[in-house]
């Protein structure tokens, strides 16, 4: 019973084949980038050059083994450059190493207290904006190096220096950089050789001719005697307050930068998510070891991490190997590294930086009205710095959330002497002044009907409406107010946001009237989603998922997946069937091919369910002969045979054995996933890693979704960690 197919970017179990095929090449790419970055950060911080290499080795090995983010690569980071430079100037390098060691112990304490998971509260707009800001900064910096110059410390300085570099003549550096960029971009388009990472090919390809014909280009520079330049840590010479402040500063800045990087890296792949508390412990251990060896502070580094993911890494072995390569080559083969032109590494970083700015993220955030937060975060990170940009983005995101939570729309209309007041949104004390102004604009003595359509109103809003009501009645007017809606709004129920409808038994003659009433209620309350729907109407549909499920009226796909307009392309039929290609099921065939080839969906979900009438009918064989239903249910026969060969299936939450009909429904999901692969477009997209197949089974009575596996126990709870295990 097949389910999801392995994704090229998914994290796999550690195996020698995976390490050799994916992690080893990726580690070499990251190693080539990490060496010059570590040396440059050490020089910019006023630290010994060897301290940057020590931090790179320890970050790769210690944080790679102990950390909670499998694909994150750690080492010295540009975000701590100013902090470290200040500490070196105040205490000297030996004391700074001691402070780094103590900061690592503080990070371990923070990880043990499980404070790291707070980073998951970050808005995706802030995280993607941070990535974009870092990407732009990296790209502009490396343009300087490609042009033969030296990267400056800020985006503004780099932009200001570009005209000078363009005028200057650095022919060989430009040739090396441009050739590197061209190879990095073109290599993945060659299908038979793209398994070898493009950055590695580019660096090797340009280094060989540059070593012979371009003797004037700047190259990687390493210390002559690396081990002899190690400086052991010392206790800082200062007041207790100064020392504690220094330790906490390093610990907090390094922790925030590592957690932000880990969250960002999770956005770049579909493998196992980061354990942020464990990541803090791993980063703390790395800093303690790095400081003890005279190294710089260690953090998770988004540049190396994004390069690691792009190069095809699957497990933490890539980060560990990159650290070992640095140690081995610096100690035994430093002269080989010194052949690499800096412009070649700059070309790799230039492409890496630009790829962090993804148009898909911009389109998605624009659809959800989060683009401003993205832009502010990206601009802040690029111009002001990592911490300042993220804080600016978070502040704007919080302000927007408060504004949305506190926003209420109050409108009045008059028809035949009856004034109708409609109040929508969330009405709290911040909106009371506007509410009162609107209510007082109604003439004295008028008949008034108040329609309350709010998620919540606080006591201040309640008193404002009540005071106005009493005053209006005292002046000869009348007020019609729905007290039940009033009480419901005063006692906020979050479920109203998820399910604004209330199931009810409707007499048969009133069905049409009820539908029309429902349409009127939807149109009247659609103010908040109307802008989003208008954008969808203008931009067209770009769903991420094709959802194939049963026509059963009890199944609501958007409710099961908590998705909204534009997110799903849905196909519904009796039994959630996907007849194999060539079965003359033109409607289903057309939907699948359109979803994959035209819409470019990223996943296809086949969702069965409990108490399925189609499954029961197939088992009981009581469908009228020759009917269209009988012809359609013949497509269930392979599922019936499959179910007979399976052992009992147990619900993972209750431990209760499924009924024969429910067991058939689960088996049917797997058969339909196999049928999907009879379509050439599905096979091709899956093989190229553009498409994922997912099996789902919904228990109606329990309101719970289960992931369908192709092995025992066949059903697992659909939480994130088990879903990831199922996809592997």
- pLDDT tens digits, one per residue of 40-87: 678 767 788 788 889 999 999 999 999 999 999 999 876 677 678 889
Q: What is the mean pLDDT of residues 368-392?
A: 85
Number of domains present in the structure of the chain = 3
Give the model's pLDDT for residue 339.
80
Least confident of 191-200, 475-484, 501-510: 501-510
555 and 693 together in one domain:
yes
Domain limits for position 581: 533-727
Last residue of a domain, one of 445, 474, 496: 496
**pLDDT per residue over 382-435, tens digit each?**
888 767 888 898 899 888 877 776 677 888 998 888 999 888 877 777 778 888
pLDDT at 711 over 70: yes
Q: Is the pTM of this model over 0.85?
A: no
pLDDT of residue 351: 81
User: Domain boundary at 468, 496, 524, which?
Assistant: 496
411 occurs within a structural domain: no
Say what the pLDDT of residue 11 is.
38
pLDDT tens digits for range 140-187: 877 887 887 776 667 777 787 777 777 666 677 788 888 888 988 888
Average pLDDT over residues 435-441: 89
Of residues 42, 474, 545, the one with CA closest to residue 298: 42
Same domain, 93 and 146: yes
Residues 287-309: what's their mean pLDDT? 90
Are the C-beta atoms of 73 and 375 separated by less than 8 Å?
Answer: no
For residue 240, pLDDT over 80 is answered with yes
| pLDDT for res 1 | 45
Please state, in angstroms and rounded to a whole number, the distance separating the CA atoms of residues 663 and 643. Answer: 7
Same domain, 269 and 167: yes
Helix, coil or strand: residue 208: helix
DSSP string for 573-618: ETT---PPTTSS-HHHHHHHHIIIIIS--SEEEEEEESS-HHHHHH
635-642 average pLDDT score: 91
pLDDT of residue 388: 80
Whether residue 183 is found in the same domain as residue 75: yes
% of the chain surpassing 90 pLDDT:
26
What is the separation of C-alpha 681 from the centre of its chain, rounded to a whole number of angstroms?
Answer: 27
Question: Tell me, what's the pLDDT at 577?
Answer: 94
Helix (H) or strand (E) holding 571: strand 568-573
Is residue 409 in a domain?
A: no
> Please, what sign has the CA dihedral across residues 707, 708, 710, 714?
positive
pLDDT at 594: 95
Tell me what pLDDT residue 508 has. 45
Q: How confident is the model at residue 509 (pLDDT cuts 50, 70, 90)?
A: very low
* Nearest alpha carbon to residue 688 among 697, 678, 680: 680
Query: Which pLDDT value is given to residue 492?
Result: 45
Distance separating alpha carbons of residues 427 and 315, to the nearest angstrom: 49
Rounded to whole angstroms, how far apart are CA atoms 122 and 371?
15
Q: What is the mean pLDDT of residues 687-715?
A: 88
Tell me the pLDDT of the chain averaged across its residues. Answer: 81
Q: Are residues 384 and 428 in the same domain?
A: no
Same domain, 293 and 435: no
Q: What angle in degrees, to the nearest 10, is found between the helix axes of 81-91 and 24-45?
A: 50
- Residue 551: the pLDDT is 93
49: which 2 tokens? 């050059």
What is the Cα–Cα distance from 248 to 87, expressed in whole angstroms? Answer: 12
Alpha helices in 525-566 (DSSP H): 530-539, 557-561
Range among 287-291, 517-521, 615-619, 642-646 with highest mean pLDDT value: 287-291
Please check whether residue 715 is in contact with residue 699, taking contact to mean a CB–CB distance below 8 angstroms. no
Q: Are strands 299-300 and 447-457 parallel, antiparallel or unpaired?
A: unpaired
Given a cut of 80, whether residue 654 has pLDDT beyond it is no
Residues 564 and 558: beta-carbon distance below 8 Å: yes
Higher pLDDT, 720 or 563: 563
- Domain annotation covers residue 10: no
User: What is the CATH classification number for the domain harbouring 588?
Assistant: 3.40.1050.10
Does the residue 670 lie in any domain?
Answer: yes
Bridge-based pairing of strands 568-573 and 545-550 is parallel
pLDDT at position 299: 92
User: What pLDDT is stored for residue 195 in this prediction?
Assistant: 58
Whether residues 166 and 54 share a domain: the answer is: yes
- In terms of domains, do 330 and 470 share one? no
Cα dihedral value 336, 338, 342, 344, nearest 10: -10
The answer to the question of residue 102 being in a domain is: yes
Over its C-alpha atoms, the chain yields an Rg (Å, rounded) of: 31
In a domain, 528, yes or no: no
- In this structure, the answer to whether residues 362 and 429 fall within a common structural domain is no
Residue 590 confidence (pLDDT): 94
Indicate the pLDDT class of residue 724, thresholds 50, 70 and 90. very low
Residue 430 lies in a domain: yes
Same domain for 218 and 106, yes or no, is: yes
Domain assignment present for 407:
no
Least confident range from 11-25, 617-631, 696-710: namely 11-25
- Report CA-CA distances (Å) from 489 to 267, 385, 425: 37, 43, 10
Q: What is the CATH number of the domain that holds 492?
A: 3.30.750.24
Checking if the pLDDT of 502 tops 60, the result is no
155-169, 318-332, 351-365: range with lowest mean pLDDT: 155-169
pLDDT confidence of residue 489 = 60
- What integer is the mean pLDDT of 322-347? 81
Distances (CA, A) of 167 to 80, 127, 141, 149: 33, 37, 17, 11
Residue 666 has pLDDT above 70, yes or no: yes
Last residue of a domain, one of 442, 477, 496: 496
Q: Which residue has the higher pLDDT, 340 or 414?
A: 414
Are 372 and 429 contained in the same domain?
Answer: no
Whether residues 556 and 454 share a domain: the answer is: no
- pLDDT score of 511 more than 70: no
């Amino acid at each position: 019973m097949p389910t999801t197919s392995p994704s090229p970017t998914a994290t796999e179990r550690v195996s020698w084949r995976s390490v050799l095929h994916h992690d080893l090449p990726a580690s070499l790419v990251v190693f080539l980038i990490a060496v010059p970055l570590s040396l440059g950060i050490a020089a910019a911080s006023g630290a010994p050059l060897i301290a940057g290499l020590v931090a790179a080795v320890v970050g790769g090995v210690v944080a790679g083994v102990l950390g909670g983010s499998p694909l994150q690569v750690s080492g010295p980071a540009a975000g701590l450059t100013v902090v470290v430079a200040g500490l070196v100037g105040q205490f000297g390098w030996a004391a700074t190493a001691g402070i780094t060691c103590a900061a690592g112990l503080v990070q371990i304490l923070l990880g043990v207290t499980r404070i790291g998971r707070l980073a998951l509260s970050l808005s995706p707009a802030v995280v993607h904006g941070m990535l974009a800001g870092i990407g732009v900064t990296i790209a502009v910096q490396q343009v300087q190096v490609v042009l033969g110059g030296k990267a400056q410390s800020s985006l503004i300085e780099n932009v200001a220096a570009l005209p000078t570099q363009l005028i200057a003549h650095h022919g060989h550096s430009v040739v090396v950089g441009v050739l590197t960029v061209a190879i990095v971009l073109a290599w993945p388009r060659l299908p038979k050789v793209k398994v070898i990472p493009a950055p590695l090919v580019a660096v090797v390809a340009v280094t060989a001719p540059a070593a012979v014909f371009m003797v004037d280009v700047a190259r990687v520079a390493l210390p002559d005697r690396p081990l002899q330049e190690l400086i052991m840590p010392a206790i800082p010479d200062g007041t207790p307050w100064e020392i504690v402040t220094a330790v906490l500063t390093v610990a907090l800045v390094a922790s925030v930068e590592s957690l932000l990087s880990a969250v960002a890296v999770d956005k770049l792949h579909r493998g196992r998510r980061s354990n942020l508390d464990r990541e803090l412990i791993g980063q703390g251990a790395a800093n303690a070891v790095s400081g003890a060896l005279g190294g710089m502070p260690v953090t998770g580094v988004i540049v190396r991490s994004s390069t690691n993911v792009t190069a095809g890494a699957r497990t933490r072995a890539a980060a560990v190997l990159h650290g070992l390569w640095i140690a081995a080559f610096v100690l035994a083969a430093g002269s080989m590294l010194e052949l690499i032109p800096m412009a070649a590494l700059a070309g790799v970083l230039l492409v890496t930086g630009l790829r962090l700015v993804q148009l898909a993220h911009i389109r998605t955030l624009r659809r959800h009205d989060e683009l401003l937060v993205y832009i502010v975060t990206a601009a802040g990170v690029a111009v002001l710095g990592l911490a300042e940009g993220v804080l600016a983005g978070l502040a704007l995101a919080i302000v927007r959330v408060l504004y949305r939570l506190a926003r209420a729309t109050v409108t009045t209309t008059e028809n035949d002497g009856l004034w109708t007041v409609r109040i929508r949104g969330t009405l709290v004390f911040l909106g009371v002044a506007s509410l009162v102004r609107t209510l007082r604009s109604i003439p004295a003595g008028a008949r008034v009907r108040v329609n309350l359509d709010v998620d919540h109103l606080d006591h201040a809003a309640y008193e404002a409406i009540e005071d106005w009501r009493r005053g209006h009645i005292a002046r000869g007017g009348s007020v019609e107010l729905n007290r039940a809606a009033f009480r419901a709004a005063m006692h906020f129920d979050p479920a109203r946001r998820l399910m604004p409808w209330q199931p009810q038994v409707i007499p048969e003659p009133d069905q049409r009237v009820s539908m029309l009433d429902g349409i009127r209620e939807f149109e009247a309350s659609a103010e908040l989603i109307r802008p989003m729907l208008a954008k969808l109407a203008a931009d067209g549909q770009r769903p991420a998922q094709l959802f194939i499920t049963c026509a059963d009226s009890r199944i609501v796909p958007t409710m099961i997946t908590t998705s909204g307009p534009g997110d799903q392309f849905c196909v519904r039929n009796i039994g959630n069937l996907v007849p194999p290609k060539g079965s003359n099921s033109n409607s289903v065939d057309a939907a699948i091919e359109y979803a994959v080839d035209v819409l470019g969906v990223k996943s296809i979900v086949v969702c069965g369910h409990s108490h399925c009438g189609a499954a029961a009918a197939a088992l009981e064989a009581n469908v009228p002969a020759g009917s269209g239903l009988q012809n359609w249910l013949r497509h269930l026969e392979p599922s019936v045979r499959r179910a007979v060969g399976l052992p009992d299936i147990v619900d993972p939450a209750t431990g209760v054995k499924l009924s024969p009909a429910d067991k058939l429904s689960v088996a049917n999901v797997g058969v339909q996933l196999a049928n999907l692969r009879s379509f050439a477009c599905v096979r091709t997209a899956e093989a190229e890693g553009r498409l994922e197949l997912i099996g789902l089974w919904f228990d109606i009575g329990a309101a719970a979704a289960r992931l369908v596996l192709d092995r025992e126990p066949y059903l697992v709870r659909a939480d994130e960690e088990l879903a990831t295990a199922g996809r592997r």
